[in-house]
A and B are shown apart, each in its own frame.
Chain A
Amino acid sequence: MTSSHGRGRLHLAAALDQPTVFDAGPYVELARLAERGGLDFVTLGDTFARPGPDALAVLSRVAPATSRVGLVPTVTTTHTEPFHVQAAVATLDWVSRGRAGWRIDVSATEGEARLFGRRHAAPAEELWREAGEVADVAARLWDSWEDDAEIRDVATGRFIDRDKLHHIDFEGAGFSVRGPSIVPRPPQGHPVRVVDATEGQARRTAARYADVVLVRAASAAQAAAVRDQLRAAAAESGRDPDTLRVLASLLVDLGDGEHAAEPGHGGGGPRQTAQGPLYRGGPVDLAELVAAWHTDGVVDGFHLTPVEPRRDLERLVNGTVALLQHRGLFRTFYPGSTLREHLGLARPANRYAVTGGASAS
């Protein structure tokens, strides 16, 4: 299997994480900065294991303060209700007018399990299988309303065409959901599903259900290998591998300016640290790295986590992104308005809609 079908558009995303911040202001500020740089999306992590606000709530607060940038909170699937998760993600898509994503994650520790008292910690393999079921059930619930279900028909007094609302009757290994959803199908049809597939246990779920996959890789070879594997697995599960966007996930520390790049860095790449692969250097060298990996078809783009959020995101946008734009490698404005459009992903068809029928438009 070849690693690439040729170089597609470059996609860039940034993390907004600021663990000790609970006010809205700093998140809004950073998201606007990312939007100024034309980034595809921003992410905000979430875990029950460490202090931090509910990420989806924070990004719903960010939504009316931004207009184009995609908003991707982490929402975990282990101790949450799949029905609530999909409704919240669909609603983020509504309040942002089609800019929502959802980074799927699991809660693997016994400490997290004790916060809920409903089950014990389970092996990652099992949790990711369940996460796959949650991703699946969410998409079914998003489809449980056809796009044109609301008819507001005056003559018959009907508000909806009930034949266009569907019970989904999902039976999973650990839960079942009858449906339909309470939220009409969101603007993007399916908000974008994102999975970090660095760990092997997440990879099958990623290949099957994710639109965007994050890979924490310190070398181009490693990133390319994971991308190849994911594309092959996607094809095996019946998907067109070109509907998958694989982004290299790096920590970036742009603190020391252009001339203090790591000795021997020179475009060589990030190095592995306990927190994950870290790029330390200047914004210009980072642009070189991004351009090189992308041009070689190693990845479809990058997801960058600033070590020092304000400082590094500003340098990223004003330095790295500006340079990539100057070279014609990255968009200078948003031609589309939804996150799917930024990512070059089609709006999915509804699995429950009767095709070829007499349905209008």
Chain B
Amino acid sequence: MTVRSRKEIHLAAHFPGVDNTTVRADPRSRSQIDLSSFEHLARTAERGLFDFFFLAEGLRPREHKDRIHDLDVVGRPESLTVLGALAGVTERLGLAATVNATFNEPYELARRFATLDHLSGGRAGWNVVTSSDAFTGENFRRGGFLDRAERYTRAAEFVEVARTLWDSWTPDGVSRPFAHRGRHFDIAGEFTVPRSPQGHPVVIQAGDSGEGREFAAATADVVFSGWGSGGCPPGRHGTRYGSLEAGRAFYADVKRRLAKYGREPGDLKIMPGVGVVLGDTAAEAQERATEIRRQQVSPQNAILALEQIWGVDLSAYDPDGPLPEIDPVADSVITQGRTRRGDTVVIAEKWRALSKEKGLSIRETVIEAGARQSFIGTPDAVAAELEEFVRRDAADGFILLPHLTPGGLDEFVDRVVPLLQERGVFRTEYRGSTLRSHLGLERPEDRGRSGRSTSGHPSNPDDRRGRGARCGERRRVVSGREEA
């Protein structure tokens, strides 16, 4: 391959969450609560020069068939507090927390993120998620009043207010009063925290709907997309080519939306969540992937997964038998507290087709269709594929979803990262100290002069910190590829 402009890959580490991704049967599996587990994964990510470490959030334990769901990992500490502690055991790694915009108030949350940004020397990131579900609302003063259609209008106003607050102090440390009056918030006063090292903590968006993409284009710095976004089913079934094409379509769609907000393609990084399984040979990797999937999908979990799609009780079905003949129930509430990720009726159709085509049992179908492992192979092959996805504009990087707590990224960092570095597509040292600098994002300008909300995304041509010569090249790559 000739030396030419290369897009640099961005990497993030997702701490295994509350679901069945984590393989608990593995003897190396440890607590999902103890700080030592978070510390292990964060240190591994920092050793691997990752952009950031990522924590998910759920505000009520899931319930299934009106009982607390007991098959998956559940119970986790509160993200921002964990990140505060991790700021003390890491030095450069970005620290991102998922926090719901529906069940918080901008003043308090902006303050918590600004504090984390100070304590970590400019490494804070906020994954803004939304919710409209009354089930979760039962834990909050606010309740679950928010109409689904309003979830992103509140989130957009929320982020706007947060940025107003982050901008309310002058860069040299003078507090200016703020006032905001909008549809969702009517607040005024002074912020208690001076402008933080990043100016604005990095904003991440996770949500695949059209509204979600629009919100990301208008406001976010990073998109955390589901694997196979754009309608292609994930996993081996979708084929690598299918995933690549789906990723390219999603990427092009989101980047295309930026212009109308006066933003450049490089201002928003697209990072799908992916699983990686390595082996010394392709066959060994495949074998390991299959074994991991079998461990993730127990017979009980297979029935559960099916019930979540079909929306009815299927406990009478044999996990090793065929899929139900009955039709799924749309908009069922059999499972509460799980974020919606697609149209269940459509998914049920796909699963049926898959089962019929390959003659798969219920459990085999769930194993095959629900696979989150996107890159399976030797370290060389995986490094090549990751590079290809980024080079061909299916992604700007990846959020890695390990299946083991806490050692799930050890092997990736030891074996794949050096190969990415050899290919010249991944950093060999941290060049800056803030998360923005890792992501190649500009530090936002001080827009607080008026002391009032303004709209539009800030960009400061004077501040080129963290934006090297590569940026122009990256832009060329992005725009040149869009209709290829």
Contact = CB atoms under 8 A, between A and B. Distances in A.
Contact of A58 (B25, B84, B108, B300): B84
Nearest to B187: A117
Contact of A48 (B33, B107, B300): B107
Contacts of A87: 77-78
A114 B189 contact: yes
A147 to B, nearest CB: 12
A50 interface: yes
Interface residues of A, number: 66
Contacts of A184: 33, 75
Contacts of A182: 58-61, 75-76, 78
A241 to B, nearest CB: 32
Interface string B55-81: 000111100000111111111111011
Contact of A117 (B87, B175, B186): B186
B115 A22 contact: yes
A160 B75 contact: yes
Given A64-B88, A158-B71, A94 B34 contact: yes
A161 interface: yes
Interface residues of B, number: 60
A320 to B, nearest CB: 29
B194 A51 contact: yes
Contacts of B121: 23
Contacts of A159: 24, 70-74
Nearest to A179: B139
A23 B194 CA distance: 11
B300 A53 contact: no
Contacts of A162: 67-70
A57 B112 contact: yes
B81 A56 contact: yes
Given A53-B119, A58-B115, A48 B70 contact: no
B24 A118 contact: no
Given A94-B35, A154-B25, A57 B75 contact: no
B105 A116 contact: yes
Nearest to B138: A178
Contacts of B80: 57, 88
Contacts of B299: 157
A24 B85 CA distance: 11
B88 A63 contact: yes
Contact of B301 (A91, A157, A183): A157
Nearest to A165: B68
B76 A183 contact: yes
A175 B33 CA distance: 29
A256 to B, nearest CB: 31
Nearest to B298: A157
B428 interface: no
A341 interface: no
Contacts of A97: 35
B462 to A, nearest CB: 25
A83 B139 contact: yes
B89 interface: yes
B34 to A, nearest CB: 7
Interface string A198-224: 000000000000000000000000000
A165 B67 CA distance: 10
A51 B72 CA distance: 43
Nearest to B139: A83
A258 interface: no
Interface in A134-183: 145, 149-150, 152, 154, 156-162, 165, 174-180, 182-183
Contact of A54 (B69, B73, B111, B189): B111
A52 interface: yes
A175 B142 CA distance: 9
Contacts of B89: 64
Contacts of B78: 84, 87-88, 90-91, 182-183
A183 B104 contact: no
A175 B141 CA distance: 5
Contacts of B298: 157
B84 A152 contact: no
B193 interface: yes
Interface in A78-135: 79-84, 87-88, 90-92, 94-95, 97, 111-112, 114-118
A180 B61 contact: yes
Interface string A28-61: 1000000000000000000111111110111111
Contacts of A51: 175, 192-194
A292 interface: no
Contact of B70 (A54, A117, A161): A161
Contacts of B59: 83, 182
- Residue among B73, B88, B193 facing the most chain A CB atoms (10 A cut-off): B88
Interface string B88-116: 11000000000000011101100110011
B189 A115 contact: yes
Contacts of B70: 158-162
Q: Considering residues B69, B77, B80, B194, which has the most beta carbons from chain A within 10 angstroms of its beta carbon?
A: B77
Nearest to B196: A22
B346 to A, nearest CB: 28
A115 to B, nearest CB: 5
29 contacts: A48-B108, A50-B192, A51-B175, A53-B193, A54-B115, A56-B84, A57-B115, A57-B116, A58-B119, A59-B84, A61-B84, A64-B88, A64-B89, A65-B88, A81-B140, A82-B141, A83-B59, A83-B139, A84-B78, A84-B104, A95-B84, A117-B185, A158-B70, A160-B70, A160-B75, A165-B61, A175-B140, A177-B140, A183-B78
Going nearest first, the 10 A-B pairs with the smallest beta carbon separation are A60-B84, A178-B138, A91-B81, A91-B77, A54-B115, A95-B85, A91-B78, A22-B118, A87-B78, A117-B187
Interface of A: 22-24, 28, 47-54, 56-65, 79-84, 87-88, 90-92, 94-95, 97, 111-112, 114-118, 145, 149-150, 152, 154, 156-162, 165, 174-180, 182-184
